[in-house]
Structure 1
Amino acid sequence: MKTTFYLSIVIVLMSSVLLVSCSDDEKQGDTTKPVITLNAPAEGAALQPGSHIHFDMDLEDDVMLGSYKVEIHNNFDGHTHTKAEAGETTPFAYNNSWDVSDKKSTHIHHHEIEIPANATEGNYHFMVYCTDAAGNESYVARNIVLSKDGETGEH
């Protein structure tokens, strides 16, 4: 009976040692952020109100992608976000997400982001966020300008 008791204690202690000795990598899982290669729009791109944005990028993850999001907001006065006078123009804002959860890498190319014709000209931030299946997130930020002399999104 004592032998069985001591054997049980030894098994419990050995099990505890084995559980504690697992590496931190095994416990944490996927900690690598996805990679975003934003090809268009370019840094400083001038885009025309009333047109669309030529959007082109590549996404990669070492395990599995989850989703990506595009956010555009004005950068008037270095983020003090001024208001336009009533009836003139409207600061452009955009926020949309897409699911890419069945892929490890993907090429994104579309022209579905429309800039309203009455969008206020000026400086904007074009932000792309990508989240992988494990919840790791990376982002890329570009400065763009809305201008009547800008590109129309054609290529």
Structure 2
Amino acid sequence: MLLISILAGTLTLLWSCDPAVVDVTPPSVRLLEHQPASASAMICGQQEDTVFQLKGGDTLYFRIEFDDDVALSEYKVDIHHNFDCHGHGGGAAPGFSPPTQEGLTQDWSVLETYPLQGSKDQVERWLVVPESVTAGNYHYHIQVLDEAGNDSPFTTFYSLQLQNPADTQAPSIRVDTPASSSFSASKGETIRFSGQVSDDLPLSQGGNGLLFVTYTDLRSGNTFTTSVVEPFTADMDKDYFFDAALNIPSTLVAGDFLFTVRAHDGVRNVAKPVEFQVKVTD
């Protein structure tokens, strides 16, 4: 009897330590239906094949199937703005922190979790874009978790391009100085940026509008906002003439940089930036 008990205990121990009973397989996500249809579009300087384009008041619809080898637990819907061009996951591109201006529009933000049943489940959702949405790029992410805690964090990650129906046209930037798009400047030297921002509607309409200058270290790819930040005030009309002086930081390491003049209007339609290749010297 003692031998039988020992053998039974040994078999139980071996069974409990069998790695085959440990669920390490992440669940899967399959997109069955989506409205509107996706399009190919430029997002933060990169071409993306699956981008969903909507206006304020539109509905984002999806029907999705989740599958797991053992048991599903829950899924999460995450929508947040990507105004800073940040990335997610390994190898994601670095973002930058654009200056903010308190506006009258509404950033679209969704962070909701729903339960799932069994090892396979289908769900559908209708998500309405705020009517007064802040225009721009957004991230749209669906994440699923099984009962063992396994997930597939970046399998369903898409971009949204949203427009505010009150103003769908981006402004334009004209830079008069510097006259050349490529030049050298020494640390501590002052660069003058002057020109005009023009739009079809008052630049202040919506409250988010501003002009600003960034620089990018071409060795690291990191982008930083400079001291040149000029909000479009409430009395601003369709044209804004700027003349700003930027002192090149003495802390920069000599090398190649990209200085960029950027602007967006009051609902945050982004103008095509104007870039300058600058070799910073000691």
Q: TM-score, normalised by structure 2?
A: 0.43
Give ranges in structure 1 of 5+ residues lacking alignment. Answer: 1-6, 151-155
1:108 aligns with 2:108: no
2: CA distance between counterparts of 1:14 and 1:103?
36
Which structure shows the bigger proportion of residues in strand conformation?
2
What are the superposed Cα offsets for residues 61-101 of structure 1, whole Å, 9 maximum, x if unpaired? 1111111110001111312464653233232111111111x
1:121 aligns with 2:135: yes
Distance change >3 Å, CA 84–CA 114, structure 1 → 2:
farther
% same residue: 26
- For the residue of structure 2 that corresponds to 1:124, the secondary structure is strand
2: CA distance between counterparts of 1:66 and 1:11?
40
Give ranges in structure 2 of 5+ residues lacking alignment. Answer: 39-49, 87-95, 169-282
One-letter identity of the residue aligned with 2:27: P
What are the superposed Cα offsets for residues 112-155 of structure 1, whole Å, 9 maximum, x if unpaired? x22111111111110101011221111321111112579xxxxx
Relative contact order higher in (CA < 8 Å, ≥ 6 apart): 1
Answer yes or no: is the 8 Å Cα contact 1:71–1:126 preserved in 2: yes
1:141 aligns with 2:134: no
Answer yes or no: is the 8 Å Cα contact 1:34–1:62 preserved in 2: yes
- For the residue of structure 1 that corresponds to 2:118, the secondary structure is coil
Answer yes or no: is the 8 Å Cα contact 1:74–1:92 preserved in 2: yes
- Report how many aligned residue pairs link the two structures: 139
Partner of residue 36, structure 1 = 29
Q: TM-score, normalised by structure 1?
A: 0.73
Partner of residue 93, structure 1 = 109
| Deviating 4+ runs (over 6 angstroms) | 10-13
Partner of residue 153, structure 1 = none
